[in-house]
Structure 1
């Protein structure tokens, strides 16, 4: 092969490599895009979890701050759950009426605990759960195509962020126990 053929061959390989690389990125982007249905299913699971664990903590929490935080979670997540259910009905998306296996296991663990161990675990669980929810809602606000569902994500996000901040404040109290 002469140098011109080698250069053409290398350019061809480079072009093929770039084409394959760009296709992989497109495919990955499509696969990783959050769908409206997935968002709504995950949001419903999150709301259910917050409501159910909040109800447990309202009765089991030893610190008044834990019980107050739990009651706020129940009230706020019941409201967002109602809005989510109404939106799902409009979009003909069926939401779950029970927790995912992962969240059910955490709820079961919490319900078996008591005292300060419960308070500490509950607050740690809420921080993690709200980190996950915030990430989901931020992704929804960025990626969702349906304007109604995207607006729901955008409008609910500040409340989730406030819950996380409240959880961090309560954690400072439970860490002192």
Structure 2
């Protein structure tokens, strides 16, 4: 049986999103009404000055998790471009590198505007997965890489749907709505690539 190499943080993503949603919707005491999840102490806009950009807890949770996942997509794709000998896997990896790098720039801009620290390298869970993938070769690598991509894109689709439904910033919600069809297409493509990695092909390697 093939075990999916999935980071524990991705396994727990639904719980994380549920907690964030509860924090966003949790009632506050008298005089602290804040249904949009605006951080305490945020300055009000003065006359003639635009109000500062506001991101609620859902926006921030989405940006934090999406940044981790988006950075990992590019790192794993570049690894697959170097290590895979399968044409379909290499073409898929090249597409992931190209399309996720573009999306990453846009997500990073929003993260900067939200005051989140820039992401450097991989988070610990994705680094552990990257290390395990790096030790595989041939058909074993191809299947593990594509299988992990299916899991990661399922999580990313959940994140995008969460932002669309629970986020506050209109532009960020718009970006999530724009990216969702692409991520679903990536997921469908990964499913198709995995289907081509049959045992017969693997045995010839």
Shorter-chain TM-score: what band? 0.7 to 0.9
Report the counterpart of residue 115 of structure 1 in structure 2.
138
Tell me which structure has the larger Cα radius of gyration.
1
CA distance 1:32–1:62, change in 2 (3 Å): farther
The secondary structure found in structure 2 opposite 1:35 is helix
Q: How does 1:118-157 map to 2 (within 5 A)?
A: 118-157=141-180
- How far does residue 28 in structure 1 lie from its aligned partner after superposition? 9.0
TM-score norm. by structure 1 comes to: 0.79
- How far does residue 62 in structure 1 lie from its aligned partner after superposition? 1.6
Long gaps (5+) in structure 2: 1-18, 26-56
Q: How many residues are matched?
A: 151
**CA distance in 1: counterparts of 2:163 and 2:118, whole angstroms:** 17
**CA distance in 2: counterparts of 1:117 and 1:53, whole angstroms:** 15
Q: Which aligned runs of 4 or more in structure 1 are off by greater than 3 angstroms?
A: none
**CA distance in 2: counterparts of 1:166 and 1:46, whole angstroms:** 18
Q: Does the CA-based 8 Å contact 2:76-2:130 persist in structure 1?
A: yes
Q: What CA RMSD, in Å, does the superposition of the two structures yield over aligned residues?
A: 1.9
- How far does residue 29 in structure 1 lie from its aligned partner after superposition? 5.3
**CA distance in 1: counterparts of 2:62 and 2:20, whole angstroms:** 18
- How far does residue 31 in structure 1 lie from its aligned partner after superposition? 2.8
Long gaps (5+) in structure 1: 1-26
Mean Cα deviation higher: 64-73 or 142-151: 142-151
Determine if the alignment matches structure 1 residue 30 to structure 2 residue 19.
no
Report the counterpart of residue 21 of structure 1 in structure 2.
none
Report the counterpart of residue 92 of structure 1 in structure 2.
115
Report the counterpart of residue 74 of structure 1 in structure 2.
97
Deviations 1:112-150 (A, max 9, x none): 111000001011000000011111111111110111111
Report the counterpart of residue 166 of structure 1 in structure 2.
189
Deviations 1:64-88 (A, max 9, x none): 0000000000101100001111222
**CA distance in 1: counterparts of 2:20 and 2:129, whole angstroms:** 32
